[in-house]
Amino acid sequence: MEKEIIITEVALRDGSHAIGHQYTVDQVATIAKALNEAKVPYIEVTHGDGLGGSSLQYGFSKTDEMKLIEAAVSVVDFSKLAVLLLPGIGTIENLKEASKIGVKMARIATHVTEADISKQHIETAKNLGMETVGFLMMSHMAPVEKLVEQAKLMESYGADTVYIVDSAGALLPNEVRERVKALKNELAINIGFHAHNNLSLAMGNTLAAIEEGATRIDGSIRCLGAGAGNTQTEVLIAVLERMGIKTGIDLYKLMDVSEDIVSKILLEPQIINRDSLTLGYAGVYSSFLLHAKRAAQRFGVDSRDILMELGKRKVVGGQEDMIVDVAAELSKEKITIG
């Protein structure tokens, strides 16, 4: 199959959620150096919630993210560094600082219905000479027509690529196909796909996206990401090679990075447990997982009940404060019933 698939490795950003944003300079430098040697095209490095994400609401970083970015930039000569920015969390100044350090790609992320808030950030990134990606999060929450409309906005602002982002790991393969096909028909730029594995569909959904024409794909080594993690990069490369699709990435070296380096950083294996499964089932933002578990312990309620209620309320990224509110309400109900 003659397709060129370009991989962005997200373990040093999305994986930050899984370890409570506790990456150190040494860890980032070691992983980035090894990914560079494996010839991974793009490596994303920021707080899990993007530039400027270190805060009380989202979780404080152990290390200033600009130092982490500097560490990664200093050890790569093949891979290009990428950052994520959510308008309203990250700022234009953050973007300029990252560019000055040596970041080559800016991924500007909004809720799937709020692409209009990405305009100045996409335009700034383009003016800084960065490759620019529009990142439409929680893509399961909008009908296909709305997704197309929002993607076209990002294209009009100058995005080189627009991603369908399955932030909750809630999309089914037929829904992925429908969305990628629609964007492929309507846009002149690259289409990307970012999966989460909460329903054990990350790999299947990623392959469905590729078959429909997505050429920019996110993976996370050792499945290190929010919720049950993302499409596992080393497995994806093996599958693509079996399909005759070349990525230019050294599979053996990637396996070694996973086994010898990243496995030692994981606090616990990235498995689909009752909480991460509930994320996908309820359609809730994957990065809510740790917040919900902590709130459940604090208020003595079931974390699944918190996640199901958040799903009913259609809570989205940026509304993390609602997790505690919901847990408190459920606790009061429990006391009343009891």
User: If you write DSSP's letter for every residue of 179-191 in order, what string do you get?
Assistant: HHHHHHHH-SSEE
Using DSSP's 3-state secondary structure scheme, residue 87 falls into: strand
DSSP code per residue over 129-195 = T-EEEEEEESGGGS-HHHHHHHHHHHHHHT-SEEEEE-TTS---HHHHHHHHHHHHHH-SSEEEEE-
C-alpha neighbours within 13 Å on the C-beta side of residue 160: 14
Q: What gap in Å lies between CA 325 and CA 102, rounded to an integer?
A: 40
194 labeled part of a ligand binding site = yes
- Give the class (CATH, top level) of 6-264: alpha beta
167 is in an annotated binding site: yes
Whether the Cβ atoms of residue 241 and residue 183 lie closer than 8 Å to each other: no
Domain ranges of the chain: 6-264, 287-337
Would you say 252 is a known binding-site residue?
no
pLDDT by 10s per residue, the chain, length 338: 467 899 999 999 999 999 999 999 999 999 999 999 999 999 999 999 999 998 877 788 999 999 999 999 999 999 999 999 999 999 999 999 999 999 999 999 999 999 999 999 999 999 999 999 999 999 999 999 999 999 999 999 999 999 999 999 999 999 999 999 999 999 999 999 999 999 999 999 999 999 999 999 999 999 999 999 999 999 999 999 999 999 999 999 999 999 999 999 987 888 999 999 999 999 999 989 888 999 999 999 999 999 999 999 998 877 888 999 999 999 988 766 55
Helix (H, G, I), strand (E, B) or coil at 118: helix
Predicted pLDDT at 231: 98
The pLDDT assigned to 338 comes to: 53
- Decide if 17 is catalytic: yes
Alpha-carbon gap, residue 89 to 123, rounded angstroms: 17
| Greatest pairwise CA separation for the chain in angstroms | 63
Where on the phi/psi map is residue 194: left (φ > 0), alpha (ψ -120 to 50), or beta? beta
Distance CA 123, CA 281 (A): 36
pLDDT of residue 1: 45
Give buried/exposed letters for 263-277 (b at 16+ CB in 10 A, else e).
Answer: eebeeeebebeebbb
Can you tell me which residue has the tokens 């994400």? 53
Give the number of other CB atoms < 10 A from CB of residue 10.
30
Match 């100058």 to its residue by tokens: 158
What CATH class does 287-337 carry? Answer: mainly alpha
Asked if 136 contacts 147 with a C-beta cutoff of 8 angstroms, the reply is: yes
Task: Write the burial class of residue 54 (CB in 10 Å: 0-12 exposed, 13-18 middle, 19+ buried).
Answer: buried
Planar angle of CA 254, 255, 258, nearest 5 degrees: 90
Spatial distance between the Cα atoms of 176 and 182, rounded to a whole number of angstroms: 10
The answer on whether 111 is annotated among ligand-binding residues is: no
Annotated binding residue at 13? Answer: yes
222 annotated among ligand-binding-site residues: no
> Of the residues 17, 21, 47, 111, which is catalytic?
17
43, β-bridge pairs: 9, 81
Does an H or E element contain 111, and which? Answer: strand 105-111
